[in-house]
Amino acid sequence: MRANRTGASGADVNGPRGRGPERGRDKMATGLLAGALGVFMAIGISACNTNPHAADVPPPSTENQPAANGQSPDTESSAHHKAPPKPGIVLPNTIQVLYATTPAFQDLTHHIVLWNASQAYKAMYAAAYQPTQAATADLKRYWTGTGYEYAHAWAQQWIDTKHQPVGFTVLSNVVVENLTPEQATVGFCEDLSGVVSGNVATHTPGKALQPKNSLGNRVEYSMVPTGVKGQWQVNGESMARASAMCPPPGAQKKHHH
């Protein structure tokens, strides 16, 4: 079934992402937004949020790939870091993405597709942290077509409702399927029980996006190469909610570097 992530204010925002992994804790208490807290495949998205940090899976060594630090080779990020802090939730790591188990690589193409899928996941979450518009450089870089329209709408809803996804998501059972030179499918489970809807104005947390001890969502990305070496984009996303393929939170061991 097609993804339908609704309500950035907490009314079933059972969606990714977003569209960055390092460290996370299983308990997101009420004091989550007040302290230094400390969401497919990566390390955290920082409060600056133009681009997520590096994935714990290193990028493949090819030309035209994102730099090893996980940021796109554009100038938006550096310019953003020079700007004064924007109002809203400001924490060292407001959203994180963790692997339950780091996926294994089969070959270079497999690695490239997996890397680009992880960047797309993080880019959607990072876009939700923009002050007014979700159309970031990374969202355009890693998403295209109807996939981009969906990812942009998902992130824009968070922005428009003055909320942000705060906490960490755990990705598991990551599989690259149907890989050909023309297309690929990447499937994974997401555990969003560690993510809450954070109110930008009051810096207070709302409800968790996934109830504790419930099955996670099974997400599938359809991906296509751009014609540029090493670059793939997500052109569609589908989701099976509360999938039997995705064990309840806590039934899988989190792993990160």
Domain that holds residue 209: 30-240
Q: What is the pLDDT of residue 84?
A: 54
* Nearest Cα to Cα of residue 27 among 162, 195, 142, 141: 195
Cα distance between residue 186 and residue 59, in whole Å:
16
Tell me if 245 is assigned to some domain: no
Tell me if 99 is assigned to some domain: yes
Tell me if 223 is assigned to some domain: yes
Tell me if 16 is assigned to some domain: no
Q: What is the pLDDT of residue 105?
A: 84
Q: What is the pLDDT of residue 134?
A: 97
| pTM, entire model | 0.69
Q: What is the pLDDT of residue 51?
A: 35
What is the residue-level pLDDT of the chain in tens, covering all 257 positions? Answer: 444 454 454 434 454 443 333 333 333 333 333 333 333 333 344 333 333 333 445 667 654 444 334 443 343 433 344 555 555 555 445 788 888 888 888 899 999 999 999 999 999 999 999 999 999 999 999 999 999 999 999 999 999 999 999 999 899 999 999 999 999 999 999 999 999 999 988 888 889 999 988 999 999 999 999 988 889 999 999 999 999 999 875 555 444 43
Taking the C-alpha atoms of 152, 134, 200 and 69 in order, what is their torsion angle to the nearest 10 degrees? 100
Tell me if 147 is assigned to some domain: yes
Q: How many domains does the chain have?
A: 1
Which residues are registered as beta bridge partners of 45?
95
Q: What is the pLDDT of residue 46?
A: 36
What is residue 257's three-state secondary structure? Answer: coil
Angle (CA) 233 45 86, round 5°? 115
Cα distance between residue 19 and residue 45, in whole Å:
11
